[in-house]
Each structure stands twice: as C-alpha cells, then as structure tokens.
C-alpha cells in the first residue's frame, strides 16, 4: 500500500531553458559521421587499430593561399582534428579527421584510376575524410607479419611488449608535433599539385 501512495505522490517537473542553450546531445550523431570514414582510411592505407578509445588531442585550421585567377586571390581552408585511438590492449595510434571547408578543385574524378589518397577512390563523396600518418611521420605503428594480408601495419599490442618496449611505443608530444608537421606539408603539396588557375 505504501508503494502505491509513493507512486501517486511522484511528480514530473520541468525547467525552462534559454532558447539559445543547446539541450540535445549530438555527440553520437557526430561520431556516426566519422565512423565509415575512419574505417575507409584504414582499409585504403592498410593500417589496423581499434577505435575503442578514440580521443581528440588537438585541432588546427590550415590556410593555403593561391590565385584562382591572376587578380583573384583565394584561401583553401582545411580543418584538422588529431585523434589517438586504440583498444584497451593496444598502445594508441594517431589519425586525423579532416574537412576541406573551402576547396577549389582538390577532389577530382580524374584521380580515380590511380588514387593517391582515400578521397581519390571511386566510392568517396564529400569533403570529410580521415588520414593516418605513417611511421616516418612520428606515428607509433608496427609492421604486420606476412600472413595478415589485409593490413600491412597496426598498433602495438600491449601483451607483445616488455615494459621498456611499451614505454617506447606510446605517443609523445614530439610525435604529435612531427605528425602535425607531416600533415601541413602534405596539405601544401596536395594543394600545389592539384590547384589550377582559371587564367591559362
């Protein structure tokens, strides 16, 4: 009987919010946008690591100045979000979430026959993509054995490392800095190689 009285006495309450305040959680929707893009990058670059832990560790906006016409200066604008991802049993690997927010012809179908980047592939659409820096750029990846034909590189597995090796396999601030430098140089080269002036 006491339980019935308790239920009857329960009330619903509401608080009026400022109309400018965001009340919905869009985090899961944002992650859905990047889900396929992360896996497409891994498949294209043949690099494997888990996304169980997937954290943003820095964001930058890059600008590349060019002339669209001789008298028309423009700026390519590229957003980049550095993430470190890996399973509980793995050391992390770096990858970038990237969006060309102002693009003047980087994404062109003519590169489909010989794709250099994931966004050159036939199935790619949009201006968002992910890219994984190689070991040479400061990323901590290990070469996989021949029997695993699907991926050439992967994250270090904690159970395969000694304590000393595990310490060496973790991403450092220097590694992050090197990966940012690699990305900046890659973006500059990408725009230089693919930019076309309309006055020719």
pLDDT in tens, 43-88: 999 999 999 999 999 999 999 999 888 889 999 999 999 999 999 9
DSSP 157: B
- Computed from CA positions of residues 127, 177, 172, 57, in that sequence, does the dihedral angle turn out positive or negative? negative
Distances from the Cα of 82 to the Cα of 42, 50, 182, 200, angstroms:
15, 16, 12, 37
In 3D, which of 78, 115, 120 has the Cα closest to residue 98? 78
Q: Is residue 19 part of a domain?
A: no
CA separation for the pair 118, 139 (Å, rounded): 18
If one counts the domains in the chain, the total is: 1
pLDDT 10s digits, 164-186:
888 888 999 999 999 999 999 99
In 3D, which of 93, 172, 101 has the Cα closest to residue 140? 93
**129 lies in which domain range?**
44-194
Q: Is residue 11 part of a domain?
A: no
Q: Is residue 166 part of a domain?
A: yes
Predicted TM-score of the model (pTM): 0.85
Extract the tokens encoding 149: 């034909």
Q: pLDDT higher for 80 or 123? A: 80
Q: Is residue 69 part of a domain?
A: yes
Q: Is residue 29 part of a domain?
A: no
Q: Is residue 13 part of a domain?
A: no
Strand partners, 48: 154
Q: Is residue 62 part of a domain?
A: yes
Q: Is residue 22 part of a domain?
A: no
């Amino acid at each position: 009987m006491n339980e019935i009285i308790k239920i009857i006495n329960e009330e619903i309450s509401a608080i009026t919010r400022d109309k400018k305040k965001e009340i919905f959680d869009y985090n899961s929707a944002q992650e859905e946008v990047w889900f396929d893009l992360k896996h497409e990058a891994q498949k294209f670059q043949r690099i494997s690591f888990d996304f169980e832990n997937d954290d943003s560790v820095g964001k930058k906006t890059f600008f590349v100045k060019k002339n669209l016409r001789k008298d028309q200066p423009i700026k390519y604008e590229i957003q980049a979000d550095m993430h470190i991802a890996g399973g509980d049993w793995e050391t992390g690997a770096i990858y970038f979430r990237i969006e060309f927010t102002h693009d003047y012809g980087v994404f062109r179908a003519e590169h489909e026959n010989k794709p250099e980047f994931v966004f050159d592939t036939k199935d790619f659409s949009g201006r968002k993509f992910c890219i994984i820096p190689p070991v040479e750029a400061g990323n901590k990846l290990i070469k996989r054995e021949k029997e695993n034909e699907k991926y050439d590189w992967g994250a270090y597995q904690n159970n395969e490392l000694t304590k000393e090796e595990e310490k060496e396999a973790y991403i450092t601030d220097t590694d992050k800095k090197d990966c940012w430098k690699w990305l900046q140089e890659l973006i500059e080269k990408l725009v230089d190689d693919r930019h076309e002036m309309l006055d020719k």
